[in-house]
Chain A
Amino acid sequence: MALLAVEGLSKRFGAALALDGLDLELRPGEFLALLGGSGSGKSTLLRLVAGFETPDAGRILLEGRDLAGLPPHARPVGMMFQSYALFPHLSVFDNVAYGLRRERMAAAEIGQRVREALAMVGLEAMAGRKPHQLSGGQRQRVALVRSLVKRPRLLLLDEPLAALDAGLRERTGLELRALQRRIGAGFVMVTHDQAEALALADRIAVLEAGRLAQCGPPAELYERPATRFVARFLGAANVLEGKVGADGVMVAGPCRLALPHGAAPGETLAVALRPERIRLLEGAPPGANGVAGVLRDLAYRGDGWMALVALPDGTELRVALPAGVAPPEPGSHLALGWPAEALVALRA
């Protein structure tokens, strides 16, 4: 049985539709990333599951049990807030113990559980401090163990890494996933950072305007995006649109695209083409799956260059050029080519 099942969930704030009939499932022990831009409804979904908002339509089932009508304090769901929401008037120990005290647990057991939890993230020595005496990374870890100390089977994390600086973010993310594997709880992490979602999650659910655009393992979403939105949001793919000719070759502006599995003549299609699958060719471009263009702009990215190549019809292709090779001068004429498998037909 799914740990968490969301069925046809809708929520409206005034005129804005935050969630629009969302269906989603989380398996026990799974790490799911909810990925989307601002206003995509990803935080609203967390708040509905935690019980801070009431859905307008749809059901939320935790291990098969409908959560409707249960107030937040009666839901066996943990939540870690983006702002961490640590109680400023309580010590680190009392912050972590807060949830256990609500269960009227014996003081000795609370002490042991809190010390264990703090030891898990290396903060035993900080137990007596107040939140304002901690660094940002330490606060993040206190917020994490506070939400985990009651051992919820489902933990909701709202942008848990967003407030950390870049150097700390990657390592903390990996620690987060290691911890999740160890305790075996289901994690639902809201993020707007595609790299974070790709690196940490078992599955990614991409939300667009309150609907599920696509849900699947990171590699599947990256390599086989289902929609234009997913293709652009994850890895900023080029999206080419055109019509399939009588010969089964799709024509998108100046590009002739031979799709790996063929296409029905007359069909209108959109395909995704990743910048890193495009190669610079010597000589003239091939008749299909290649195009000539002029290098318009070049941005250095450390591990290579991102090139903007203008095609004869004025559209632009993003092309990733590897490091270690001197890039062409802006304004030079280039021949580009890509393998047929690099083309992914999009359904919307």
Chain B
Amino acid sequence: MRRLLILLPPLAWLLLLVAAPLLIIGLIAFAEAGPGVPPFIPPFGWAGGPVWRGSTESIGTLLGETYYLEAFLRSLLTAFVTAALCLLLAYPMALGIAGARPSWRLPLLLLVLLPFWAGFLPRLGAWIGLLRDGGWANGVLGLAGIGPLRLLYSNLALYLGMVHAYLPFAVLPLATALLRRDRSLEEAAADLGATPFTVFRSVTLPLSLPAAASAFLLVFIPAAGEFVIPELLGPPEAQLVGRVLWGEFFQNRDWPLAAALALAMLVLLLPPILLFQRLGRRG
């Protein structure tokens, strides 16, 4: 009885804020688009008894047109590259923070989080100003006799923006894990004749793999659905799922197709999540 009471709040939370919205999205995905507010006909009706009025048309569209498949693949690739770049940059940062004097650690962590204090859109605006044809970056390149290059609306700008936005999500779990690590293991390795590099390769790195996996996931999952950064900085031809979904929802007002896209994204993200969870447990 008491266990039930303790479990009730999180259970209610999950039902209300996770399960119910998912169910609604699922229902909308099987509805037919139609005029009205909201712009779809509910898949279940009532005419003397329950009636199925749904349609699998949206799912069919999704599976039938390569446009959507390409958007998914490009999104996963973009998220993967972003997460990999963030991990590569975050690991040395986290190692440095964990190795710093105790009085320096908190200020260094705050510096990592500092960009969050400025709004997200102003920061992207700053990137646009830096990268546009007549911007600072091209100005400096021009002094060196290079350019002007097309930096904005390129993959370079896309990844600059993505890494800039998601890097703190990778630094935090890594720094926490590296701070908590048992230093006597590294001392034991050194005592047994391992050089500092070998200590890192054979002890520090393998033991931090679970944290690295969670850092990767924390970037990968939100990055896969990102639409603002690709929209503002990325190449126009690169249609990512986030942008496609936005377009279907707000421009085409095709809610069933948008809901189907969201569900498909969820299904696509499940395997990597499970894979990384297993990787984390093994480490």
Q: Which A residues lie at the B interface, using CB under 8 A?
A: 50-52, 71-73, 75, 77-79, 81, 83, 85-89, 98-99, 102-103, 146-147, 150
Contacts and interface: CB of A to CB of B under 8 A. Distances in A.
A50 B188 CA distance: 10
A50 B191 contact: yes
A98 B192 contact: yes
Contacts of A85: 182, 184-185, 187-188
A71 B199 CA distance: 13
Contacts of A77: 191
Nearest to A94: B202
Contact of A102 (B184, B196, B198): B198
Contacts of B199: 73
Contacts, number: 61
A71 B198 CA distance: 14
B192 A71 contact: no
A216 to B, nearest CB: 29
B193 A99 contact: yes
A102 B202 CA distance: 11
A87 B283 CA distance: 12
A85 to B, nearest CB: 4
Interface SS, B side? helix
A150 B182 contact: no
Contact of A83 (B182, B192, B206, B283): B182
Given A99-B193, A102-B194, A103-B193, A89 B188 contact: no
A147 B195 CA distance: 17
Contact of A98 (B187, B189, B283): B189
A79 B191 contact: yes
- Per CB-CB distance, the 6 closest pairs between chain A and chain B, nearest first, are A99-B192, A102-B193, A85-B188, A72-B190, A85-B184, A79-B191
Contacts of A81: 184, 187-188
Contacts of A146: 188, 192
Given A98-B192, A147-B191, 7 more contacts: A72-B187, A81-B187, A87-B185, A89-B207, A98-B202, A99-B193, A103-B193
A150 B192 contact: yes
Interface of B: 182, 184-185, 187-196, 198-199, 202-203, 206-207, 283
Nearest to B203: A87
A78 B196 CA distance: 17
Contacts of A73: 190-196, 199
Nearest to B198: A102
A88 B189 CA distance: 12
A70 to B, nearest CB: 11
B10 to A, nearest CB: 30
B146 to A, nearest CB: 45
23 contacts: A50-B191, A51-B190, A73-B192, A73-B194, A73-B195, A73-B196, A73-B199, A75-B191, A77-B191, A79-B191, A83-B182, A85-B185, A85-B187, A85-B188, A86-B188, A87-B189, A87-B203, A89-B206, A98-B189, A98-B192, A146-B188, A146-B192, A147-B192
Contacts of A50: 187, 191
B209 to A, nearest CB: 9
Question: Which of B185, B190, B192, B207 counts the most chain A CB atoms within 10 A?
Answer: B192
B177 to A, nearest CB: 14
B184 A71 contact: no
A147 B189 CA distance: 10
B207 to A, nearest CB: 6
Contacts of A71: 190, 196
